Amino acid sequence: MKRTLLGYVPEKSIVYNFHPFTRLFVVFLLTFVPLLILNPAFNGALIVLTVIFFAVSRIDLKIFRYYLPVFVLLFVFITAIYTFFAEEEMMTEALLSVGGVTLYRPAINYALKVYLRILGVLFLTIYFLHVMTESEIVVALRSVKVPFVISYTLGLSLRAIGMFLEDYRTVREAEKARALDISEMNIFKKAAKLINYIVPLLALAIRRTDEFSDAISSRAFSLKTMKNRPNYLARKNRFKWTDFAGICLAVLAIAAVFYLHHRIP
Amino acid sequence: MTAEEIWKVREGEIREPGIQHLVITALLIGVGTVAGMTGVSASVGFGVTFFWPAIAIQIVGGMWYGVWGGAVAAGTFPIISNMVAGTPPVGSLLWIPPNVIQGMAVGLVFRKFRLDPRLKSARDYLVFILVGGILASIPGALYAPWIGRMFGLFTEESYRVAAAAWLVGNGGSAIVFGIILLKALSPIVVKTRTFCKTLTA
Amino acid sequence: MKPAVEFKDYRWQYEGGRKDALRIPELVIGERSTVGVVGPNEQGKTTLVRTLNGIIPHSHRGVLKGEARVLGENVAEVSHQDLSRKVGVVFSDPDSQFTSMSVEEELVFGLENLNLPLAEIRGRLEWITRILELEDFLAKPPYELSGGQKQKVAIASVVVMKPKILVLDEPTSMLDPRGKEEIFRAVRRIKEEERITLVITEHNLEELLKIVDRVIHLDEGTLVFEGAVADFINAFDYSQDKIYPPEISSIFDFLKRGKEWDGDIPWKLEEGLKRYQRP
Ligand SMILES: Nc1ncnc2c1ncn2[C@@H]1O[C@H](COP(=O)(O)OP(=O)(O)OP(=O)(O)O)[C@@H](O)[C@H]1O
Ligand SMILES: [Mg+2]
C-alpha cells in the first residue's frame, strides 16, 4: 500500500499507468461538470463514473464510511435552506406539512439537484486526494513547467502541513494526558480550546523559519538562480501513450457533456 | 521599541524579500491549513463556512508578513483546507479576492498609521477590531452567500441571514483569535528578520 | 597543511543584540581535520556555523568586525551562493532540514541547485544511496521517517553536493539515543569515504570526542580553547557544570585528585579500562 494525501492505494493499481499531471488534469477538468451544470442526469453519471474510478484504481470503497457524516450533514443543511428559505416561485405545490412547516415539491426537487451537484464535486475531490501523494502534485506541476519558485513553495507548504499535523497531534495528546478531552465540549468551549493549539503551532512556525531558511540556502538555493534548473525527477515520470489517451478521452467527454447539455437543456 | 520603530525602515537599511519569506509563506500555509481543517470549522461546501478560526492566521499573516502572509498564504491555504472539505480548487479560486482582503486590510492600515502590532493602546485595539474584525469581513460576508447562491447552496431568501451569520462567525473569530495571537506573538515576531516592515520585506 | 578556515579578530553582533554573539581572536582549522565545537547553550556555536557558509553576514542582519576566511576567501566578500557550494551545513532540527516531500527529491534538490548534468545527478544519487544505505527510503515522505532517519537524509543531501567542508550543528541534539547512534555511524562512514574537513558542534562530548581530532571550546560567545582532544581533556575544568565531559574522563579526574592516578586522562571508555587495568 502506498500512502496518498488522504488514504492508501495498492502497490499495483491502474493509477500508476498515468502521469501525476494526467491525474490532476482529468480530475480538475471533470469538476467543471458539477460546477457549471445542475442537471442531475449529468451529475448522477459523474458520481457513477467516479465510483468506477475508485473501483478500477482498487481503492477500498469502505473509505466512504468516513465521509458519511459529511454527506448527511450537507443533505440536512440544503433541505433546511430550501424548506425555510425557499424562493417564492418554488413554493407552489405543497408536498407535506408538519407542525406549520411546509415542504414544497419544486423546492425540494431543486434541493435534491443541488445536493447531487455537491456530491459530484465531493466524490471527485475525495478521489483526487486518494490517488495523489504530495510529491506527485509537485511532479505534476513541474512537468508542465510551472515556475520552480511556485512548485517549490507549494511542496514546502505540503511538507509544512504534514509537519504541523504531527505537531497538532502531539499537542492534543498532551492535552488528553491532562484529561482535557475536547470531543465532549460544546462548540464555544471547543473554539476557546482551539486557540491553545493555534498559538503553539504558530510559535513553532516562527521559530522554524530561520532554520528552514538556513537549511535551504545552505543547499545552494537562491531566488536568483532558479531559471534553467535541471529537473531530475522528470526522467522518472515520463508521459506515456496512456497519458495522451487519458487526456484526450477526458477532453472529448467534457466536450460531449457540454454539447449535450447545451442541446437538451 | 516604539510602534514607529517597528515599521520604519532606517536609513541605509536594506529590506528585500529573501528565502525566509518563501519559507514563512509555506509555514503559514501549513499552520493555516491545519487550523482550517481541525474539528470545529462549520463548512457547508464551496468554501462557505460560518465559523472559521483560520481567519486569524490570515490576519496575523498580513500584519507581520505583508503580502507573503496576507495575500499569498491567506489566498492559498483556504484552497487546500477547503479541498479536504470537498471543495475543488477550481471552486476555491473564486475565494481568493475576499481572502486577500481579509488578510491584507488590517496590516495595511497598521503600517499606514504606524499602529502597534503588539496592541499596546486602546487605539490599536479599536482599529484592529474595526478594520480586522468588521470591515475586512464584510466583503466575505457579502460574497459568501453570493457564491453559495450561484451554486444553489442558498436561496434569495436566505441571503441576508447567511451574510449576517458569516459576519458574526468570521468577524467574531477574527477579533477574538486575532487579539490573542497578536498579544502572544507580536513581541517576538517584530524582532525577527522575516518580519515585514514594508509590504514585501 | 593549508588552512580551511582562518579567523582573525572576528566579532559578530546580531542586530538588536546587546553584546557580541561570537568573538574569535584567532583560529585556524586545517584542511581535512575533524573539529568538534563545544560549549553550553547560547554560546555562539550556531553563530560560528552560520559564519562558515556565509549565512552570516549575507542573510542575517548585524555587525561584523575583523575577518573570517573560509577556503581562502573572506566570507563578507564572497557571495553566499558560492560559499554554500563549498561548505555544506546541517542544522539540528530534523524537521526543518527536510524541505520536500520525498527522500529522493530531498537528495537531488541541492544537485539541481548546482545545475549539474542529469547523468552526474544520477551518479551522485546512487553513490550517496549506497554509502549511507538509503535504498529503502528513496520514495518515502518525511512523515514516514524517524527523527534520526530525517537527519541522516539531511546529512546525505548535503554530502551529495560534495562540499569541501561539512559542518554539522548539533546534529543529534533533538534525537533519541538510537537516532544519535545512527547519525554518528553515518558521520564515521562519511569520514572514511570522503576526506573532507569536518566541523561538528555538540554539547554532548561522549560521542563527539571519539570522532574528532581537535576541539574548539566556546564560552560566553568567546573562543577559550583550541587544540587537540588530549590537551582539551587534560586541561578541562571538571568542577564546572556547563558542559559534560565523558564519564570516563570525570572518573579519571576524580582518581587524579585523590592521587590514585597520575597519568593522562583518557576520553574513550576502552582506553580508560585498558589503562586502569595496567598495574
Ligand atoms: N537570528 C538571531 N538574531 C538575533 N540574535 C541571535 C540570533 N541567533 C542567535 N542569537 C543570539 O546569539 C547568541 C548566540 O547564539 P547561538 O545560537 O549562536 O548559540 P548556540 O551555542 O548555538 O546555542 P544553542 O546551544 O542553543 O544552539 C545568543 O545570545 C542568541 O540569543
Ligand atoms: Mg545552536
Q: What is the enclosing helix (H) or strand (E) of C276?
A: helix C269-277
Q: To the nearest whole number, what is the mean pLDDT of chain A? A: 88
Domain ranges of chain B: 3-189
Pocket test for ligand 1, best of C12, C38, C42 (most atoms within 8 A of CB): C42
Cell of C131: 554509502
Instruction: Name the residue among A73, A76, A103 with its Cα closest to residue A90.
Output: A103
The whole-model pTM stands at 0.91
Residues whose CB is less than 8 angstroms from the CB of residue B54 and which lie 6 or more positions away in sequence, other chains included: B32, B33, B35, B36, B41, B77, B78, B81
The top-level CATH class assigned to B3-189 is mainly alpha
Res A188: pLDDT: 64
Q: Which segments of C198-246 does DSSP mark as H helices, in order? A: 205-211, 229-235
DSSP-derived letter for residue C266 is P
Average pLDDT over residues B111-117: 97
| Alpha carbon of C170 to ligand 2 centroid (Å) | 7
> Kind and range of the H or E element at C28?
strand C22-30
* Helical residues (DSSP H) of chain A, grouped into ranges: 20-30, 32-36, 40-56, 64-84, 105-131, 134-143, 148-177, 187-217, 233-236, 241-263
Q: How distant is the alpha carbon of residue A173 from its chain centre?
A: 27
- For A207, the closest chain C residue by CA position comes to C96
pLDDT in tens, C16-52: 888 999 999 999 999 999 999 999 888 999 999 999 9
Which of A135, A212, A218 has the CB atom closest to C105's CB atom?
A135
Average pLDDT over residues C128-148: 93
Name the nearest CA neighbour of A129 among A7, A3, A1: A7
pLDDT of residue A219: 92
DSSP codes joined into one string, C41-110: TTSSHHHHHHHHTTHHHHTS-EEEEEEEEETTEETTTS-HHHHHHHEEEE-S-HHHH--SSSHHHHHHHH
Render pLDDT for C172-198 as a digit per residue (tens, 0 to 9).
999 999 999 999 999 999 999 988 999
What is this model's ipTM?
0.90
C-alpha dist (Å) from residue A218 to A135, C114, C115: 22, 12, 15
Q: Could you give the CA distance from residue A128 to residue C168 in angstroms, rounded to a whole number?
A: 40
The residues, ordered by sequence, that sit 6+ positions from A117 with a Cβ below 8 Å of its Cβ are: A34, A37, A38, A40, A43, B151, B152
Task: Search chain A and give the residue with CA nearest C59.
Answer: A214
Residue B17 CA to residue B194 CA, distance in Å, equals 9
**The pLDDT value given to residue A187:** 60
Determine, for residues C61 and B18 on separate chains, whether the beta-carbon distance falls below 8 Å.
no
Residues of chain A with pLDDT under 50: none
Give Cα separations from C14 to A99, A216, B191, C59, C244 (angstroms). Answer: 72, 21, 11, 11, 28
User: What does the pLDDT read at residue A225?
Assistant: 66
- The C-alpha atoms of residue C39 and residue C48 are separated, in whole angstroms, by 12
Q: Which residues of B146-184 are buried (b: 16+ CB within 10 A; e: fewer)?
A: ebbeebbbbbebbbeebbebbbebbbbbbbbbbbbbbeb
Mean per-residue pLDDT over chain C, rounded: 92
Q: Is the pLDDT confidence value at B129 over 60?
A: yes
Inter-chain contact B153–A163, Cβ cutoff 8 Å? no
Per residue in C59-71, pLDDT tens? 888 999 999 999 9
Q: How far is B134 from chain C (nearest CA, A)?
A: 36
Let me know: does A160 contact A153? Beta carbons within 8 Å.
no
Q: Is the pLDDT of residue B59 over 60?
A: yes
Give CA angle at C197 (C193, C200), nearest 5°.
100
CA distance A150 to chain C (A): 13
B78: Cβ–Cβ under 8 A, 6 or more apart, which residues? Answer: B32, B36, B47, B54, B92, B95, B99
pLDDT at A6: 82
Question: Using the 8-state DSSP alphabet, how is residue A150 labeled?
Answer: H
- Ligand 1 atom nearest C170 alpha carbon: 27
Angstrom distances, CA of residue A134 to CA of A3, A4, B37: 10, 7, 17
Phi, psi of C4 (to 5 degrees): -85, -35
Question: For residue A190, what are the CA distances in angstroms to B19, B43, B177?
Answer: 36, 16, 13
- Of C47, C63, C92, C243, the one to substitute when testing ligand 1's pocket (max ligand atoms within 8 A of C-beta) is C47
pLDDT cut 90: percent of chain C above it: 74
Closest Cα partner for A60 from A122, A4, A133? A4
How confident is the model over B90-99, as a mean pLDDT? 88
> Collapsing DSSP states into helix, strand and coil, what is residue A102?
strand
Give the Cα separation of A172 and A94 in Å (integer).
49
Taking CA atoms, C150 is separated from A101, A212, C167, C181, C183, in Å, by 60, 14, 17, 14, 10
Pairing mode, if any, of strands A94-98 and A101-104? antiparallel
Report CA-CA distances (Å) from C49 to B65, C35, C92, C209, C229.
27, 12, 12, 19, 20
Beta bridge partners of C34: C198
Question: What one-character DSSP code corresponds to residue C265?
Answer: P
Please tell me the predicted confidence (pLDDT) of residue B45.
57
Per-residue pLDDT at B39: 44
Residue C279 has pLDDT above 80, yes or no: no
Yes or no, beta carbons of A118 and B46 under 8 Å apart: yes
- Which has more confidence, C5 or B36? C5
For residue A81, list chain B residues with Cβ-Cβ distance below 8 A: 153-155, 158
CA distance B79 to B27: 15
Q: Which chains touch C (3 or more CB pairs under 8 A)?
A: A, B
What pLDDT, on a 0 to 100 scale, did the predictor assign at position B47?
58
